[in-house]
């Protein structure tokens, strides 16, 4: 899991996104 940033804020997302779709609020 990588810490990712989007316009919705930070979250934990899979580094192989979008192949792996597991995300979780950070």
Q: Which domain holds residue 14?
A: 1-26
Confidence at residue 14, expressed as pLDDT on a 0 to 100 scale: 75
pLDDT for 26 equals 55
> What per-residue confidence (pLDDT) applies to 13?
73
**CA contacts within 13 A on the Cβ side of 22:** 5
What is the tens place of the pLDDT at every residue in 1-26?
778 788 878 877 776 656 666 655 55
The pairing of beta strand 23-25 with beta strand 2-6:
unpaired
Q: How many CB atoms lie within 10 A of CB 23?
A: 14
Q: Which two tokens stand for residue 23?
A: 């995300």
Tally of structural domains, the chain? 1
First to last CA, the chain: 11
Report pLDDT for 25.
Answer: 53
């Amino acid at each position: 899991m990588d810490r990712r940033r989007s316009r919705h804020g930070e979250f934990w997302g899979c580094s192989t996104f979008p192949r792996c779709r597991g995300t979780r609020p950070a």
